[in-house]
Chain A
Amino acid sequence: EADIYQTPRYLVIGTGKKITLECSQTMGHDKMYWYQQDPGMELHLIHYSYGVNSTEKGDLSSESTVSRIRTEHFPLTLESARPSHTSQYLCASSTSGQPQHFGDGTRLSIL
């Protein structure tokens, strides 16, 4: 029943590669978020967007970048992946005053 989709679900890739994690939602939500979460640990907000052409950095410094050219799409890009980027990345969306909907995440492993 997911209305927010993340691809790929798992990614194992070598150091130095450029990576784009995809996130799309079909609910017309204006707000979208990226979180980074190590297994069993807390979620860290790394990027968010309150609408098209609006992006902000979150609390955790990240070497990733995001774009919001369309309401439904909020991709995250790592220009040159490093082992320290190994983590789970969760995308979420919401509208004002309403709870977030989360995707199932991308589990990223950098060798």
Chain B
Amino acid sequence: SQQGEEDPQALSIQEGENATMNCSYKTSINNLQWYRQNSGRGLVHLILIRSNEREKHSGRLRVTLDTSKKSSSLLITASRAADTASYFCATSDMRFGAGTRLTVKP
């Protein structure tokens, strides 16, 4: 079975709102990565957080990591219609979850 599991499976919000996606994993990790996938395309790396980090920021993205709970969250602030995509977490052994499909309505 896959290592990471995202929650929720689908999320629909209005432009300007914040979007939060969660990821749980099963085993020990060195790092956790978040990726974005536009429909019909490959994945694009967004942010990597190492196991000794608790929070990381990149532009409108904020990632947290709780290794005791084996969970991570991705927050996208001030969402835009262009943020519409699927978002995946991946563990350091390159296993992916099922993703969260985010729709941002203009």
Q: Please list the residues of chain A having a beta carbon within 8 angstroms of any beta carbon in chain B.
A: 6, 33, 35, 40-45, 48, 59, 88, 90, 92, 94, 97-105, 107
Contacts and interface: CB of A to CB of B under 8 A. Distances in A.
B98 A41 contact: yes
Contact of A43 (B31, B44, B88, B101): B88
Contacts, number: 57
B40 interface: yes
What are the 10 closest A-B residue pairs judged by CB atoms, nearest first? A102-B42, A42-B98, A99-B45, A43-B96, A102-B43, A104-B42, A99-B33, A103-B42, A99-B48, A105-B42
Given A40-B86, A99-B33, A59 B44 contact: no
B30 A94 contact: no
B91 to A, nearest CB: 11
B94 A45 contact: yes
Given A42-B88, A59-B2, A104-B42, 11 more contacts: A6-B42, A35-B96, A42-B96, A43-B2, A92-B42, A97-B31, A98-B48, A99-B35, A100-B35, A102-B35, A103-B42
Interface residues of B, number: 24
A59 B33 CA distance: 19
Given A42-B96, A99-B45, A107 B40 contact: yes
